[in-house]
A and B are shown apart, each in its own frame.
Chain A
Amino acid sequence: MSGRALFRALAAAVLVVASVSADDHANDGAGATLLAPGAALGGVIEVGGDRDVFRLAAELGRSYTVETGQLTAGMDSVLVLYDPSGQPLAEDDDGAGNLASRLTFTAATTGNHYLLVRHYDRQNGTGGYRIAASASGGSSSESSSSAAPPVSASSELVLASRVFDPKLAGAELELSTRRAGSGSYSAQLEVLDAQGQTVRQVASASRSRGRTYRDRWDGRDRSGRFVAPGDYRVRFTGGGGAREQTLHVVRLGVRAVSFGGTGRVPLSYHRAESWSGSAFPVDNAGPAWTLSRSPLGAGCLDARDGSPLDLPAPWWEVDGPPRSSSGALLERGRSLPVAYRAGSVAQVTATLGDTAAHDGRAVGCNLPLSGRPLRLVVQGGAAASAMSGELRPGDRVTLDLPPLDGRLGKQVLRVRFGFAYREDDGSWRAIPGAQTSEHTLYSVLGAPLREDVPGGRPWVAALELASGWLGDDTRREDELLAKVTRGINAGLGLRYEDTQGAPAYTDGPDLLTNELDLTAFLANRRNGRRVNCLDCASLVTQFAAQLGARGKILIMGWDFRLNYLKGIGGASFTNGLFFGYHAFSYHAVATFDRGASIHDACLSVDDDSQPWRSPFVERLPLGMPESRYRQQLGADPFQGRALGQATPR
Chain B
Amino acid sequence: MRFLALLLALSLTPVLAQDAARQASLAERYGVPGWPASAPSRVGLDPASIQAEGWQVLEVQRDARRAEARVGFARQGVAVQVALASLRLRRHPGAAEARRALLGALGAVQATLAPRKDLGDLAYGTRGYVVGTYSNLEFCLRAAKPGVDLEQALLPALAAALRATAPLEAGAPLALPAAEVEVGQPARPTPFRLAFAPEAPEAAAIAFACSGDASVLRTAEGYTLYPAPGPSEVEVRVFLCTADLRQRIQRFTVVFPQ
What residues on B are CB-neighbors of A262 within 8 Å? none
Q: Judging by beta carbons under 8 Å apart, are A585 and B111 in contact?
A: yes
- For chain B, the bracket of interface size reads 35 or more
Q: Give the distance to chain B from A375, nearest Cβ to Cβ, in Å.
A: 28
Query: How long is the Cα–Cα vector from A167 to B209 in the complex, in angstroms?
Result: 45
Query: How long is the Cα–Cα vector from A326 to B101 in the complex, in angstroms?
Result: 39
B residues 201-258 touching A (CB-CB < 8 Å):
207-210, 213-221, 223-224, 226-229
With A500-B113, A528-B144 as given contacts, are A329 and B108 in contact (CB-CB < 8 Å)?
Answer: no
Query: How long is the Cα–Cα vector from A279 to B144 in the complex, in angstroms?
Result: 29
Q: Judging by beta carbons under 8 Å apart, are B112 and A640 in contact?
A: no
**Stretch from A147-155, A183-191, A270-278 contacting the other chain:** A270-278
The 5 closest A-B pairs by CB, nearest first: A501-B110, A327-B219, A326-B220, A278-B208, A284-B226
7 A-B residue pairs with Cβ-Cβ distance under 8 Å, sorted by A, are: A325-B220, A326-B221, A497-B129, A500-B111, A511-B22, A534-B108, A558-B22
Q: A277-295 CB contact bits vs B (8 Å, 1 = yes)?
A: 1111101110000000000
Q: Give the distance to chain B from A520, nearest Cβ to Cβ, in Å.
A: 8
Query: How long is the Cα–Cα vector from A506 to B12 in the complex, in angstroms?
Result: 24
Q: Give the distance to chain B from A401, nearest Cβ to Cβ, in Å.
A: 22
Selected contact of A506 from candidates B108, B228, B229, CB within 8 Å: B108
What residues on B are CB-neighbors of A277 within 8 Å? 208, 215-218, 223
Asked if B165 is an interface residue, CB under 8 A from chain A, the answer is no
Query: How long is the Cα–Cα vector from A641 to B101 in the complex, in angstroms?
Result: 22
What residues on B are CB-neighbors of A509 within 8 Å? 100-101, 103-104
Q: Judging by beta carbons under 8 Å apart, are B218 and A510 in contact?
A: no
What residues on B are CB-neighbors of A507 within 8 Å? 101, 104-105, 108
Query: How long is the Cα–Cα vector from A584 to B210 in the complex, in angstroms?
Result: 41
Query: How long is the Cα–Cα vector from A510 to B15 in the complex, in angstroms?
Result: 13
Asked if A119 is an interface residue, CB under 8 A from chain B, the answer is no
What residues on A are CB-neighbors of B142 within 8 Å? 502, 504, 528
Name B's A-contacting residues (CB within 8 A). 15, 18-19, 21-23, 25, 61, 70, 86, 100-101, 103-105, 107-113, 125-126, 128-129, 142, 144-146, 189, 207-210, 213-221, 223-224, 226-229
Q: Judging by beta carbons under 8 Å apart, are B215 and A284 in contact?
A: yes
Q: Judging by beta carbons under 8 Å apart, are A511 and B217 in contact?
A: no
Query: How long is the Cα–Cα vector from A520 to B61 in the complex, in angstroms?
Result: 10
Q: Judging by beta carbons under 8 Å apart, are A578 and B226 in contact?
A: no
Query: How long is the Cα–Cα vector from A117 to B209 in the complex, in angstroms?
Result: 81
Query: How long is the Cα–Cα vector from A507 to B207 in the complex, in angstroms?
Result: 20
- For chain A, the bracket of interface size reads 35 or more
Selected contact of A587 from candidates B61, B100, B110, CB within 8 Å: B110
Asked if A124 is an interface residue, CB under 8 A from chain B, the answer is no
Query: How long is the Cα–Cα vector from A532 to B105 in the complex, in angstroms?
Result: 12
Given A280-B215, A509-B101, list of 4 further CB < 8 A pairs? A284-B214, A329-B217, A509-B104, A527-B86
Asked if A586 is an interface residue, CB under 8 A from chain B, the answer is yes
Q: A495-522 CB contact bits vs B (8 Å, 1 = yes)?
A: 0011111111011111110100000100
Asked if A345 is an interface residue, CB under 8 A from chain B, the answer is no
With A271-B207, A277-B218 as given contacts, are A502 and B22 in contact (CB-CB < 8 Å)?
Answer: no
Asked if A642 is an interface residue, CB under 8 A from chain B, the answer is yes
What residues on B are CB-neighbors of A545 within 8 Å? none
Selected contact of B226 from candidates A280, A325, A327, CB within 8 Å: A280
Q: Judging by beta carbons under 8 Å apart, are A278 and B210 in contact?
A: yes
Query: How long is the Cα–Cα vector from A534 to B108 in the complex, in angstroms?
Result: 7
Q: Judging by beta carbons under 8 Å apart, are B144 and A581 in contact?
A: no
What residue of chain A has the Cβ atom nearest to residue B65's Cβ?
A649
Asked if A10 is an interface residue, CB under 8 A from chain B, the answer is no
Query: How long is the Cα–Cα vector from A323 to B220 in the complex, in angstroms?
Result: 11
Q: Judging by beta carbons under 8 Å apart, are B111 and A284 in contact?
A: no
Q: Judging by beta carbons under 8 Å apart, are A503 and B108 in contact?
A: yes
Asked if A99 is an interface residue, CB under 8 A from chain B, the answer is no
Q: Give the distance to chain A from B90, nearest Cβ to Cβ, in Å.
A: 9
